Amino acid sequence: MAGAISLARRLRQDRRVLLGEPLLARGHQEKLVPNDPFFSSQWHLLNTGQNGGVAHIDLNLTNVWNNYRGAGVVIGVVDDGLQYAHPDLAPNYVGSLSYNFNDGNSDPAPNPATDVHGTPVAGLAGARGNNGIGVSGVAPEASLAGLRLLGAPTTDAQDAAAILFQSDAIWIKNNSWGAPDGTGELLGPGPLLADALMAAATTGRGGKGMVCVFAGGNGLAAGDNVNYDGYANSLYAIAVTAVSDQGQQATYAEPGACLVVSAPSSSGAEFCSGGRQAITTTDLTGTDGFNDGATYCELPDADYTEEFGGTSASAPMVSGVAGLLLQANTNLSYRDLAEILMRSATKVEPGDSDWWTNSAGLVHNHKFGAGLVNGNSAISLATKWTGLDSMQTIEILQTNLAMPIPDNNPTGVTQTFVITNEGFRVERVGLTVTAPHPRYGDLAITLISPAGTSSRLAEVHNSSGPGYQAWLLTTVRHWGEHAKGLWKVQVADLVPDETGSLEALDLQIQGTTPQATLAVTAVSNSMRVDLRAAAPGWTYYVQASSDLQSWTPLSSVAINNQGQGTYVDIAPTEAWRFYRALLAPE
């Protein structure tokens, strides 16, 4: 091949030759299209523009399935039940890892009269694909565990037990549920569930961390934000929002600085009534569930529905993609997986003014997270990923502030935090706020990093209940940035009449102190310096020395998304040369 390219180059230099190009053989990528009869309705898996959708607004998976279909990975569906006898779910169901937390037994089957939610969710994550019936899941060969929790009211202890259940064997738990939408209240997990989420993420899956995916919520019309939902905004959750088949924010999808990614779902009215396409998946068999066989604008087979939607549909798609990623690279931690999803996502609505690229090259939008999940790009990144170093936490608490918040004043009050930790790379950031206010929805709360990235943690909305009393607000918008420097918290009351005060702030920054390694290889008369660091978006200075005393700057090297960077030292003059890499300041 090198000879052909060289010959073509020489030919192009001859004025008598109009065109000289090497004729090279190229490999072509097959794309697996399953034989499930309703696959053509599953635009979230392959959007060709059917029914007015925008082509490629999908999960970009079909070529991934040639190699990865979720085999060996168990996805737990924490919901109102899983109809394991469904013909498209039965092949993937694992009874030994299933449990009914409502009735205290090992049978997670739903009550068909009321529990219609979990079976469609399960089908989206892991319905058996390419079996000639029904639909395909995102991870069509992943195993499914049914964890029935939403079939009845539960205690904090039951919720915690469901999250911790078999957390070594069940690698992913999908949670298409959370705080009720539209109440104006701040609602979240009790102390046991909060601890369980942390424990599952830090000790589950043999210490790599169980992946907890949560639906971002459907309360946009009521002014809800994912940060008002203490389940989805957990520092240990992957919060997912929804986009339509045209790549637009779904009409119900809540914004939030804590959103990780988007995935497809319904939007607006039913498709037959002028809205956008909803999601096709498994339904309770027979006349139960969403489709009774005679429902207007439904599939002819009542065991399936094409009218599922909400962020409840988006979350299990991400759980399925997570299953594919963990099959491709079982060494990924839950934090690795979150960053891979973000760095490989596709920007939707690129003209939206809220898109922001932070100082580590990560893009984010409060409406969309890091963008639409891109299965193919995520797999490509996962197979070459440099694993993140062990997580560390910086925490600074400010109490007894007693700062009145000026009424109806956009300037508000500002508190600062000075972080002195050198070389600390940010991942998630949490801010626990105590700000008594009779109408706390009047408050806008913004966190600004030393690099200038802003996270809108809370916005003006209709509110009720006790408000920001040690309430945790979280963000992923600073992921990859340097922690060192001045962090600002701005709290402003933007509505007249009622007043409040800022009493306490607790800033918690999760992240790592990446350790860079160098490998030097002789290449002809040059030296190739390969730098590896779990710090995509960071820059290092490569220097050389012949005596380890005086160092000569050679070049800056940017770390790519795979955690790698390269510099070639051409024809070094010394017989012996040493190399080192120093972290460049932000």
Q: What is the pLDDT of residues 65-106, one digit of tens each?
A: 999 999 999 999 999 999 999 999 999 999 999 999 999 999
Residues of the chain under the 70 pLDDT cut: 1-31
Is 320 inside a domain boundary?
Answer: yes
How high is the pLDDT of residue 16? 44
The helix/strand/coil state of 412 is strand
117, 364, 437, 482: which one is catalytic? 117
Residues 462 and 535 occupy one common structural domain:
no
Residues 73 and 204 occupy one common structural domain:
yes
Of 356, 382, 408, which residue constitutes the final position of a domain?
Answer: 382
Domain that holds residue 572: 517-583
Residues 411 and 498 occupy one common structural domain:
yes
How high is the pLDDT of residue 3? 55
**Residue appearing with tokens 């996502």:** 345
Cα–Cα distance, 422 to 207 (Å, whole number):
27
Split into its structural domains, the chain has a count of 3
136, 244, 265, 312: which one is catalytic? 312
Closest by Cα among 379, 344, 377 to 362: 344
Residues 57 and 184 occupy one common structural domain:
yes
How high is the pLDDT of residue 437? 96
480 φψ region: left (φ > 0), alpha (ψ -120 to 50), beta (else): left
How high is the pLDDT of residue 7? 55
Q: Is 288 tagged catalytic?
A: no
How much is the pTM? 0.93
36, 79, 115, 245: which one is catalytic? 79
How high is the pLDDT of residue 27? 45
How high is the pLDDT of residue 474? 98
Of 351, 382, 413, which residue constitutes the final position of a domain?
Answer: 382
Residues 437 and 498 occupy one common structural domain:
yes
Residues 242 and 276 occupy one common structural domain:
yes
How high is the pLDDT of residue 46? 98
The helix/strand/coil state of 271 is helix
Of 455, 488, 512, which residue constitutes the final position of a domain?
Answer: 512
Closest by Cα among 173, 190, 178 to 150: 178
Residues 353 and 408 occupy one common structural domain:
no
Residues 201 and 245 occupy one common structural domain:
yes
Contacts of 8 (CB under 8 A, 6+ apart): 20, 21, 22
Q: Is 501 tagged catalytic?
A: no
**Residue appearing with tokens 């600073």:** 478
Residues 408 and 335 occupy one common structural domain:
no
Residues 315 and 456 occupy one common structural domain:
no
Contacts of 362 (CB under 8 A, 6+ apart): 342, 343, 370, 477, 479, 480, 537
Q: What is the Cβ-side half-sphere exposure of residue 416, based on CA atoms within 13 angstroms?
A: 7
Q: Is 353 tagged catalytic?
A: no
How high is the pLDDT of residue 28? 43
